[in-house]
Structure 1
Amino acid sequence: MANFHTSRLPVVLLTALAATTLPNALAAQAAAKPGEVPAAMALIKEADLKRDLYAMAGDAMRGREAGTPDEMRASIWVAEQLRAIGVKPIGDDGSYFQWFNMVRTRVSTVSTRASLGTNALEIWKDFIPLGGSSADVAGTVVWVANSADTTIDVRGKVVATPIVAPNPASIRTTTNSADVRYTQAAISATQARFARRGAAGLILVADATSDAAFDGLAILRGRGTYDVDRAARRFATQPTRAELPVPARQAGTPAFLVRGSLATTLQGGPSIDVQVRLERFETPSVNIVGVIRGTDPKLRDEYVLFSSHQDHDGVRYQIDGDSVWAGADDNGTVSVALLASARAFAKQPGKRSVLFVYHGAEERGLLGSRYHAAHPVVPLEKIVTVLNGDMIGRNHPDSASLLGIQPPHRNSSDLVKMAVRANELTGKFKLDSIWDRPTHPEGWYFRSDHVPYARLNVPAVMYSTNLHDDYHTPRDKPERINYPKLTRMSQWMYLTGWFVANAPTRPGIDPGFKLER
């Protein structure tokens, strides 16, 4: 599940008892009609899901970070599972792979230099640039002991100030470690106090908590940003790379976080000289694509697309002695659920064909899905539905979310009805609709691989069991997954796809649908 590249409000933690549900008419249970549930659904087995997840999200896969050999290793493993099941390749040159290049922009360790007085500072060890552009900052440091003091004229000056402890309500409750979450909120709070005051540069001095987070934050910031050329948009206002100017200098006030041990030196008003330079390069990532052909001569050239992403966060900084951010729930659970659905469809194909797409580099900004939506392996107009899942193995055993089920995110009432009916016959989950609201602080709908397709008017929904405290940490391991729940979620996704694959007419787009954020 991808993060936004902006700060977010704390996650709203929900339980089944507190969830806002769909109308009772939609949630009513009903018995299956004869032939409504295919016999092949019995092939979706808890033991298979558990075996596959321990393989895919075990420490040997090293967190499957996009653009690394670890993502390649996991991708080859997935392709081999599809081959063994009987899913046919439909990628580049008759393979299971659709290749694309991630464009990575990061601060150059080689070309960035800094000095404080007569002493050189080492990037990522002594200081962390907090912007994403080149910057030049030089001058005599002005110490501002209280950043709330607006009587001090800082215009055109290089300011050093202690970092401000953030409002606890502004600190996220999930992702990364508690000290990193605190530091990210503290950086925003301190920068806000100097917004529009005209400082030439801003040096934030770490307190004890942000000092403890320093190495972890350096690893996160050092990765830079990622994009992909010739791709569909994630947001309506998202510019393409060709539309972006090459940044010569950082917009706004260049800012840096430094170790707390430098406070005494900075109070003495030393000279400082910082030159931040960027580097750009391309590195490969990959979508894994396979197909099971449908049985109906008229419908088999239409496709139901099952969607997951095989990447996660890789090897990062240690939390509780563990540095492998394995991503069992995110998104190993859906990845193995697709394998289970493939076994069922291979045994009992539907009338329409079924595409299985594992999108690469989702964690870097939905890059694989943005690329495939722009360059689909079958004509886009032939993709009748995208069934995407992200994190389907945790939290209360009887609650789940289906995103794209209510306006403005709902683009196909036909598809929603099929998904709700499939839930009645499989998981029987209490559907939490709060996470699908445009006002939800996590912006959950826009953070997974269905979005580029929905924006192109392909009927789409997303299955999730939502955030938990292990999200984007090394604690997201296979042993923490609720496997009975994962089995029911897998059956739910599969049966929805079965309904779409065999419906007389494809799901329609709701009149006037327009996805905005």
Structure 2
Amino acid sequence: MKTLVFCGLLALATCSASAQQAPTKVKIKTKAAPAAQATPVPAAPEWARTYAATIRPEELRQHLTVVASDAFQGREAGQPGQKLAAEYLVKQFAALGLQGPVTGGDNPYLQHFPLVRGATAPGGYVQVNGRRYEWLNDFFSYGPLPSPFLTPTVAQPVFVGFGVEQGAYSDYAGLDVQGKDVVALMGAPQDERGRALLRPLGRKADYWDSGLRKAALAKAHGARTIFLVTFASAAAFRKEGQQFASALSEPAFSLPDPGPAIIDTVSESIPPGIGVYLTSQELGFALAGATRADLMGYVRGLGQARGPVPAAFQPPTATFYLPQTQQQLTTENVLGFLEGSDKKDEVLVISAHYDHLGVKHDTIYNGADDDGSGTVAVLQLAKAFVQAKKDGHGPRRSILFITMTAEEEGLFGSEYYTAHPVVPLAQTIADLNIDMVGRTDRKHGLKKHFVCVVGSDKLSSELHTINEAANRDYTHLELDYHFNIPNEPEHIYYRSDHYNFARRKIPVIFYTTGEHADYHKATDDVEKIEFDKLAERAQLVFYTAWELANREQRIVVDSNKP
């Protein structure tokens, strides 16, 4: 799962072995028949048990032994090991008889897309009114971001007040920020006495204190970068910059073609496609073209008007320079399509990411659980549904199996797919996403048969009910919802590929077993996977998918619990 990084930046900005359970026997009442009559076929609901039973620990092990082998070199996006893994997955989908749904490319199973890998070089600065402000001393980014300023670039920033939009209140009203660099004050709109001008959004009284939400809003309005003005002292800001110097020098990935911007001010992750920078008080004031007195006057005007007002000051032109070494890469999502019967135009997505961290300091990070476990579960789910169709038992709706790439770099595979879907998103009924389901986390004992369920109730009450019923009737796992509570501190809901479906209002379930001692370490190997439990969890996904694909009505979208 994508790791949340740079938690300290937020502070500054605001001052996944027991035996497999045997299927439960169900008595089916039938009328007496002559001895010569053939044995009755199972009732329709029992076909699910038949095909779920094809998801076996030994086959999961066979696939994972390949996918998480040293030969695939950690499957880092854009690197040779990832290409080998993609080739393996294509062969598996093709052998099953799934269709390749991608048109216009060299391989109908591969959705290619570009990535840029950049590393910050020394010498970055912003120059305003003849004064030069230095990288790390006066400004730095939210995480290692790709630079839009590879050469000295003269631009006219746009001041957007607090950079928020809620109801009738919009700091962007009347402003053209397309392709421009915006300057926003940290914090929420308030009057000169510090009284909030906006009501708390939901349960989050500090909603707009998040610079990342402001960045997502700026991106939705087309901005190239956002500079967030902090009010820390120069010394405190410089200390913070030096603290993150090492991390900020790490290579960063970007998605050059993220597709149409959508307003997403819920996620607590860095939005792709926009530069996000924190500035010292001095640089922030200079970029805004304002003094402290000017800004106090602006805040006073907000309080009097109880809404946005034009600023009495004008940002000057500035020169931005943030050099990087950049490498153009191509990576691939792997897609397999199973056409449904009478409801084939509606599509269920079953997903997992197959990329991992690659090779670091000559050590291979095999990612057996993260997310080799989810990847091989998708292969077995595909096999089960293909067999059901061959036997004449559905599914009614089509199913799209996607193994995503570049999840570890920023959920980029799902970001790209949802912006460039092979089936219109309006026809996509749900995404069942599987990420790290082969281990036992720190919270549960080894004898526990459990899975963590995330997001099932956030957009569709029916989806939540269907998953619970599937578990009650078939798998009997402990369903753990501790990652699903409001304001969950690890932000798990936002950290895997389902989220890019959810933010486009497509119901999701994220199946995981959480972090363990080998999470994102070179020790995440096949030998530590609990394949019996992996099979059980994959079977729960199957039963839920079976109902979604075969029920009469598609599930409703009737909730919104970000």
Q: Normalising by structure 2, what TM-score? A: 0.61
CA offset digits 1:410-436 (Å, max 9, x no partner): 211111122112222443111111111
In structure 2, the residue matched to 1:458 is 506
In structure 2, the residue matched to 1:342 is 382
Residue identity in the other structure for 1:96? Y
In structure 2, the residue matched to 1:400 is 451
Shift of 1:253: 9.3
In structure 2, the residue matched to 1:483 is 531
Shift of 1:227: 3.2
In structure 1, the residue matched to 2:265 is 236
Residue identity in the other structure for 2:380? A
461, 471, 477: which one aligns with 1:429? 477
Shift of 1:228: 4.3
Residue identity in the other structure for 2:108? S
Work out the CA distance in 2 between the residues paired with 1:468 and 1:78.
26
Verify the 8 A CA contact 1:309 1:335 in the aligned structure 2: yes
Alignment partner of 1:87: what SS? coil
Distance 1:290 1:57, change over 3 A: same
In structure 1, the residue matched to 2:93 is 82
Distance 1:327 1:197, change over 3 A: same
Query: Residue 95 in 1 paired to residue 108 in 2?
Result: yes
Query: Residue 377 in 1 paired to residue 422 in 2?
Result: yes
Verify the 8 A CA contact 2:120 2:248 in the aligned structure 1: no
Query: Residue 226 in 1 paired to residue 226 in 2?
Result: no
Shift of 1:359: 1.2
In structure 2, the residue matched to 1:445 is 493
Residue identity in the other structure for 2:381? S
Alignment partner of 1:357: what SS? strand
Verify the 8 A CA contact 2:456 2:507 in the aligned structure 1: no
Work out the CA distance in 2 between the residues paired with 1:480 and 1:224.
30
1:22-101 map, 5 Å = 34-38=43-47, 39-93=50-104, 95-101=108-114
Alpha carbon RMSD of aligned pairs, Å?
Answer: 3.6
Residue identity in the other structure for 1:107? T
Work out the CA distance in 2 between the residues paired with 1:241 and 1:2.
14
Residue identity in the other structure for 1:393? G
The aligned length equals 384
330, 336, 350: which one aligns with 1:306? 350
Residue identity in the other structure for 2:44? G
Residue identity in the other structure for 1:251? T
Residue identity in the other structure for 2:265? A
Distance 1:276 1:382, change over 3 A: closer
Q: Normalising by structure 1, what TM-score? A: 0.66
Verify the 8 A CA contact 1:310 1:335 in the aligned structure 2: yes
Query: Residue 2 in 1 paired to residue 2 in 2?
Result: yes
Alignment partner of 2:114: what SS? strand
CA offset digits 1:424-476 (Å, max 9, x no partner): 24431111111111322111111111111111121211111111111100111
Verify the 8 A CA contact 1:91 1:290 in the aligned structure 2: no
Which 5+ residue runs of structure 2 have no aligned equivalent?
10-15, 17-22, 29-42, 126-139, 151-229, 283-320, 390-394, 441-445
In structure 1, the residue matched to 2:234 is 198
Work out the CA distance in 1 between the residues paired with 2:498 and 2:92.
23
Alignment partner of 1:324: what SS? strand
Alignment partner of 1:36: what SS? helix
Shift of 1:371: 1.1
1:117-128 map, 5 Å = none
CA offset digits 1:349-398 (Å, max 9, x no partner): 21111110111101111101011111110111111111111100111441
Verify the 8 A CA contact 2:144 2:248 in the aligned structure 1: no
Query: Residue 507 in 1 paired to residue 555 in 2?
Result: yes
What percent identity do the matched residue pairs reach? Answer: 30
Work out the CA distance in 1 between the residues paired with 2:494 and 2:454.
10
Verify the 8 A CA contact 1:52 1:336 in the aligned structure 2: yes
Residue identity in the other structure for 1:500? L
Work out the CA distance in 1 between the residues paired with 2:350 and 2:456.
17
Work out the CA distance in 1 between the residues paired with 2:520 and 2:255.
20
Shift of 1:222: 2.3
Shift of 1:332: 0.6
Distance 1:205 1:412, change over 3 A: closer
Shift of 1:201: 8.1
Distance 1:253 1:54, change over 3 A: farther
Distance 1:488 1:234, change over 3 A: farther
Higher relative contact order (CA 8 A, sep 6+): 1
Verify the 8 A CA contact 1:64 1:314 in the aligned structure 2: yes
For the pair shown, the structure with the greater C-alpha radius of gyration is 2
Work out the CA distance in 2 between the residues paired with 1:338 and 1:8.
36
